[in-house]
Amino acid sequence: MKYFVLLFSMVFSILLACNSSKTEKKFDDKPKLESDTIRIVNKEIEYEVLIIDIGFSSWFNSNAKPRNYYSQAYLEARNNVWVLEWNRRTMLSSQYNPNLYEMSINYDTHIDYGYEVNYMIYNYLVYFQLKYNQKLGGFTPRI
């Protein structure tokens, strides 16, 4: 009887432990992109991002994580490093393919661009690195 009570309490505690770890994290739906020209606007700070890249919308619709999967701080940290490297490569057109790095990105770390702008820039930079086999900075892009 002693072993039965011990066995029952062990099984019960295991079930209780497994049940407590089943909290689901809720994410907002990600937007469906319809065109290969993506326009991201934050009217409060008068900032606009225009992405023209064939294939980005289909990649985004099938691979991008939903909104709020990453925190804004995470997105800003990645964007900061990747945009700095992007801009460095834009200035060094003799060392890097000028067809890939045509324009610099005006990204100021002291400005809060909001979640949506950071989310879309992050996803584009992940897409860019995977599609063109580039590595911008010390972080490997994840999908």
Could you read off the pLDDT of 103-125 as tens digits, one per residue? 999 899 999 989 989 999 999 99
Q: For the segment 27-65, what is each residue's pLDDT rounded down to a tens digit?
A: 555 556 565 666 766 667 677 777 788 889 889 999 999
Q: Which amino acid is at 1?
A: M
What does the alpha-carbon distance between residue 143 and residue 137 come to, in Å, rounded to a whole number? 17
What does the alpha-carbon distance between residue 48 and residue 50 come to, in Å, rounded to a whole number? 7
CA distances (Å), 18 to each of 5, 12, 14, 22, 36, in order?
20, 10, 6, 7, 44
Q: How confident is the model at residue 13 (pLDDT cuts 50, 70, 90)?
A: very low
3-state secondary structure of 69: coil
What residue has token string 């407590």?
20
Cβ count near 90 (within 10 Å)? 16
- β-pair type (47-52, 37-42): antiparallel
Alpha helix positions (H), the chain? 2-20, 56-63, 72-91, 115-131
